[in-house]
Structure 1
Amino acid sequence: MMINLKKYVKSVVFLIGFLLALQQSVFAQNEQISWGRAQHQDKEWYASDEAQRIADNVLLYQNENGGWDKNIDMADKLTSAEKEELRNQKLKKLGATIDNGATHTQLRYLAKIYNTTGEEKYKKAFLKGIDYLLEAQYDNGGWPQFYPIKQGYYEHITYNDGAMIGVMDLLRDIAIEKQDYSFVDVQRQRKSQEAIDKGLEVILATQVKVNGKLTIWCAQHDKDDFSPAKARAYELPSLSGKESTGIVEYLLQLENPSDEVKQSIRSAVQWFQDHKVMGKKVVWVKDSTYTDGRDRIVIEDSAGGPLWGRFNDITTGTPIFVGRDGIVKYHISEIEQERRVGYNYIDNYAEELLKRDYPEWEKNH
C-alpha cells in the first residue's frame, strides 16, 4: 500500500510540475515585454501572438515614406482609438529619422517576423523601409539624421548614437544575403551594396586629421565639407570616443579591406591607445540634494580605466564636458547634474575593441 501511495504522490508531483512548466511557457509566449527586449528573443518567440501584436504596432507607426519616428515604445498596447488615430496621422507625417535606433531597428524586427510567419504585409513594410533608407542617403554617401531633410544640425552626416552605422550594418546584411534577409530581391541587394560602398567612402573622408595624422571621427560632420560639426549646445565639434568605436567595429567586419581601410583602422586604434584615461573610475552615488536622488561622478582609482571621453578636444584629445551652456569644461563635476546623469560623457567605450576585436582582426591582416 505504501509503494502505491509513493507512486501516486510522484505522479501528482510530476503532473503539477508539468502543468506549471506549461503555464510558464504559455505566459512567456504571451506576456507583454518592452520594445527593447522584443528585438532580442529566441527565434520561436517571433511566432507568438505577442510578437505579432508588436509587429502590427510597428506597421501602424510606420510613416508613409517608409521610415519611423524615434523614441516610441513599439510594444505598448494600443486601444482601438489610438490605432485609429495612428492611421489618420499617417498621411500627415512626412519625416522620419535614423536617430536613437529608429527605422533600422524596426526593419530588423519586421524581417524576423516575416521569416517566422511568412505574412506578406511584414515583407511589404520592410521593403518600403529599405527604399526609404536608400532614398535618404546623400550622393556623397552620408546619411542625415532626418529625411526628408529637417533644417539645422539634423542635416549633418550623423554618426551620433550609431545612426549611420546602424543603417549600414543593416544594408550590409542585405547585400551579403544574410539568412534573415534572403527574401530581399536582387535589385535591392545591389542597391544596398552600392549604398554601403558610398558610405565607406564618406567614412574614410570624414576621419579627422590633426597635423596631417589620422585620428577618429566627430559625432556628426558637415554634409558639404565633411568638417566636424556642432549639434546641440552640449555636442560641440570634437572627437567622439563612443561613435568612433562603432565606426571602427564596422570597419573590422569588412572582407578584403583596402589599404586605405587598414590605415584608417590602425590610425583610429592608435588614437585610442594614446588617449585612454587610466586611474579613474565612473561611479553612481546616492545624493538626496537632487530630485532623482543620484549623481554620476568620476573618482580616482588606481585600478580604474581605460576610459575615453564621449567628446574630446580635437587638437589635444583631452576629454571635454559641456553642459547646456555650451561652455567647455574639463571635469564632469563642472557641468550641471541634469547633464551628468542624462548623458554619458566618459566611459570604457573602446575597451573591448582594443582588448579583443582589434587584436583578432590584426591576426588576419
Structure 2
Amino acid sequence: MSYTLMLLRRTLIASIIILCANSLLAQTNVQDQKFPSISLNPFSDSSRHWYGIRDDHNIINPSFNQPKYKESEITNIADNILLYQRDNGGWPKNYDVQAILTPQQADSLIKTKGMVHTTFDNSTTYTHVDYLAQVYTITHIEKYKNACKKGIRFIISAQYPNGGWPQYYPLEKGYSRHITFNDGAYIGVMEVLRKIVNNDANYSFIDNKLRKEIEVAYQKGIDCILKTQIVDKGRLTVWCQQHDEVTLKPAWARAFEPPCICNGESVGIVLFLMDIKNPDQKIINSVQSAVKWFQESKILNTRVETIKAAPEKSNWRTSTTDRVVVIDSLAPPIWTRYYEQETDRPMFSDRNSKILYSLSEVSRERRSGYGWYTYAPQDVLKKYPKWQKKWASNENILEK
C-alpha cells in the first residue's frame, strides 16, 4: 500500500472515530446532566396519600423504604410522570412521582396505560402538565413537550360545555361528576390555563391552534365560576365545594360534605379572581360580594384547640387526638368551613349525612380528621385593600 493511500486511510479512520465520539456525546444520557431543581410541592398531596393510606385499588403500592430521586433529577422524575400518564392524556391520583420504581412497579404501570380512571383530584393532572412544561423548557426533550400537550388536550376534553370540570374524566357514577372546586381542583386547572393565556415562557411551545382552544376553555371556566356563585336570600355570597353539573346548584359530595355556602374552597376561587388582569364588571362584583360575605361571616373570640386523646379506632382511621372549640377574647377571626343557606348558621355534618350545628356533635373520627374551621378568608381580606383601590376605588366593602 502506497504512503498516500495509507495516509488517506488513517485520515478516514480518524474522521470516523471523531464522528462516532461526537455521536456518543450527543446521545449521552440526559440523566447524567445537571439541571436546576423544580419544586415537587404540587405533588405532595398525592404523595402523602400513597405513603400514608394503604389502598388496594392502587396499581402499585410503595415498597418498604422506597428510594426517591433527588429534586434536581428532573428528567428521571419527568420519565416517571410519563410512565403514570394514561393513553387518554390524564393521570391517576395518589402516587409519588419522585419514587424510584422497581422494574415490577414500572411494568404494572405500563400494563394500565389503557385505563381511564383519570382525575383532577388531589392535585392531579394539571400539576403533571405544569411540571412537564418546565422540564421541556429546560431540556428541550420532545417527549416531555408531547406528553404535556397531550395532558392539556385531556383538560380541554374534560371540560363541560358550561365551562366546569368534573373530578374524574371520563365521567364516572356518583358525585365525581359534579363541578369540583373541592381541594382546589377547578382552580388548579384554571391556573395552568391562565399561564398559557398570559404567555408564560414555559408554554412558549404551544401552537396557535391549541392556544386558541385553551383561551376559549379558560374564558368558559371564568364564566362558570361566575354562574356558580351562590345567590342566597337575594345576595351573592361565595361557592360550594361542588356544584351540580347541570343545574349549577350546590350539591352533596361525600356523606359529610353537604350542599352549603363553603368558605374553605371559596378562598382559592376569590384569590384567583383577584389576580385576573383587567377584570370586567362581573368579576369585580363577584369579588366585592365574596369579600362582603367573608367579612360578615367571620367568628370572633373563638379558637379550635387540638388535644391528645386516648386512641379510638374506627372503620376509617385510628384517632389519637380530639378538637375542642375554646372561647378566647384574644383569638383572631376564624370561619367555619360550612354555612347553612338561608340561616347563615355555621354548619357541620358527619358520615351519616346528618346536619349538625356544633363541632362537639360531630363524631370524634370526623371531628379530628376534617378541617371544619379555617383562617383562610383572612388572606382575601388582607389582599382586598390593594385590589379595591385598583379596581373598585369608589366602593370599599370593608368600610360599610
TM-score band by shorter chain is 0.7 to 0.9
* Distance across 1 between alignment mates of 2:311 and 2:167: 37
1:94-122 CA-to-partner distances (Å, cap 9, x unmatched) read 13111111101111111121112111111
Contact map agreement 2:227 2:248 (CA 8 A) in 1: yes
Alpha-carbon shift at residue 50 of structure 1 (Å): 2.6
SS in 2 for 1:295: strand
Query: In the alignment, which of 370, 380, 383 is matched to residue 353 of structure 1?
Result: 380
Contact map agreement 1:216 1:244 (CA 8 A) in 2: yes
In structure 2, the partner of 1:293 is: 320
* Distance across 2 between alignment mates of 1:116 and 1:237: 44
SS in 1 for 2:261: coil
SS in 2 for 1:165: helix
Q: Any residues of structure 2 matched to 1:177-326 within 5 Å, and which?
A: 177-290=199-312, 291-326=318-353
* Distance across 1 between alignment mates of 2:233 and 2:106: 56
In structure 1, the partner of 2:107 is: 84
Cα 1:49–1:173, aligned 2, differ >3 Å: closer, same or farther? closer
SS in 2 for 1:235: coil
Q: Any residues of structure 2 matched to 1:24-43 within 5 Å, and which?
A: 35-36=40-41
Cα 1:343–1:54, aligned 2, differ >3 Å: closer, same or farther? same
Contact map agreement 1:65 1:95 (CA 8 A) in 2: no
* Distance across 1 between alignment mates of 2:311 and 2:172: 39
* Distance across 2 between alignment mates of 1:142 and 1:60: 28
Query: In the alignment, which of 42, 53, 75 is matched to residue 52 of structure 1?
Result: 75
Query: In the alignment, which of 366, 369, 384 is matched to residue 342 of structure 1?
Result: 369
Alpha-carbon shift at residue 174 of structure 1 (Å): 0.7
* Distance across 2 between alignment mates of 1:113 and 1:317: 47
Cα 1:296–1:188, aligned 2, differ >3 Å: closer, same or farther? farther
* Distance across 2 between alignment mates of 1:99 and 1:227: 20
Contact map agreement 2:38 2:71 (CA 8 A) in 1: no
SS in 1 for 2:305: strand
Percent identity between matched residues is: 42
* Distance across 2 between alignment mates of 1:33 and 1:325: 42
Contact map agreement 2:38 2:74 (CA 8 A) in 1: no
Contact map agreement 1:96 1:148 (CA 8 A) in 2: yes
Q: Any residues of structure 2 matched to 1:62-211 within 5 Å, and which?
A: 62-91=85-114, 93-211=115-233
* Distance across 2 between alignment mates of 1:35 and 1:84: 24
Counterpart residue type for residue 372 of structure 2: Y
| Higher-helix-fraction structure | 1
Alpha-carbon shift at residue 318 of structure 1 (Å): 2.1
Cα 1:71–1:334, aligned 2, differ >3 Å: closer, same or farther? same
1:264-305 CA-to-partner distances (Å, cap 9, x unmatched) read 110111000000011111222111343442223321111213
Cα 1:317–1:349, aligned 2, differ >3 Å: closer, same or farther? farther
* Distance across 2 between alignment mates of 1:338 and 1:287: 12
1:23-44 CA-to-partner distances (Å, cap 9, x unmatched) read xxxxxx89x99953778xxxxx
1:47-97 CA-to-partner distances (Å, cap 9, x unmatched) read 976322221111111111111111222212210111111111112x11311
SS in 2 for 1:286: strand
- Using the size of structure 2 for normalisation, the TM-score is 0.78
Contact map agreement 1:47 1:117 (CA 8 A) in 2: no
Larger radius of gyration: 2
SS in 1 for 2:192: helix
Contact map agreement 2:334 2:375 (CA 8 A) in 1: yes
Q: When the two structures are aligned, how many residues end up with a matched partner? A: 328
Contact map agreement 2:230 2:238 (CA 8 A) in 1: yes
SS in 2 for 1:328: coil
SS in 1 for 2:122: helix
Contact map agreement 1:35 1:73 (CA 8 A) in 2: no
SS in 1 for 2:324: strand
**Any gaps of 5 or more consecutive residues in structure 1?**
1-28, 40-45
* Distance across 2 between alignment mates of 1:211 and 1:155: 27
Contact map agreement 1:110 1:123 (CA 8 A) in 2: yes
Contact map agreement 1:145 1:157 (CA 8 A) in 2: yes
- Using the size of structure 1 for normalisation, the TM-score is 0.85
* Distance across 1 between alignment mates of 2:267 and 2:173: 28
Q: What RMSD over aligned residues (CA atoms) do the two structures have, in Å?
A: 2.2
